[in-house]
Amino acid sequence: MNMPVETLVDPIAAHAQALIANLGEDPHRESLRDTPERYAKAMRFLTSGYESEPEDVVGSGIFSAEGEGVVLVRDVEFHSLCEHHLLPFFGRVHVAYLPGDRIIGLSKIPRLVDLYARRLQVQERITEQVADALMKLLQPRGVLVLAEARHLCMAMRGVEKQHSATATRALRGVYAHDAQARQEILSMIKEK
């Protein structure tokens, strides 16, 4: 029996279909038939961070500062794909900055995290990229970014450690050289 020839719209779908077949499955089986297109759509979403720059996601969300206190946005959830295995890693990012002359709309900080998380990544780079973007956009007196994540590339394969977590941090400005200022932010992050 001849199977109808499918036209896959997204080129990623053709690769997904070939992957399914090369793994020994029938890509034309009922429950797998639409998987290549679903996979392509998911990958386009999960890597949509390549389509924008920080200025695009922040837009007009930068304002004159009206105070000198620290700004902390805690527990920003993120999901990303490890660039080494294309497996997910996920966790939380805490972002603090000490304003100079400008502040950013609070919703823009999670948007910056998503921008970088929706790329093929390593956790260390996301942490640094968020810090660098805030320094460039705001020129604050300091930035501290702390990311905590679980990596499925460590849990599902390799060392197979399901409960391990990784923490990374990026320090800019006052937080890079003033231990007391840095400790104040780290204490605020721990407060719930």
Please identify which of the residues 17, 94, 129, 151 carries the catalytic annotation: 151
DSSP state at residue 27: T
Residue tagged active-site, from 82, 94, 121, 129? 82
* 151 catalytic residue (yes or no): yes
Structure tokens at 178: 């003033």
* Alpha carbons 171 and 132: distance in angstroms, whole number: 9
Which of 6, 15, 37, 85 is catalytic? The answer is 85
CB atoms within 10 A of CB 95: 27
153: annotated active-site residue = yes
Is 85 marked active-site? yes
Q: Which of 28, 79, 84, 177 is catalytic?
A: 84
Q: Which of 83, 139, 162, 177 is catalytic?
A: 83
Asked about 94 being catalytic, the answer comes back as no
At 113, list the tokens: 């995290």
DSSP 139: -
Residue given tokens 């050289």 in the structure block:
177
Residue 82 falls in the annotated catalytic set: yes
Q: Are 144 and 175 in contact (CB under 8 A)?
A: yes
Helix spans in the chain (H): 11-22, 35-46, 54-58, 108-117, 123-138, 152-155, 174-177, 179-190
Q: Which residues are catalytic?
A: 82-85, 123, 151, 153
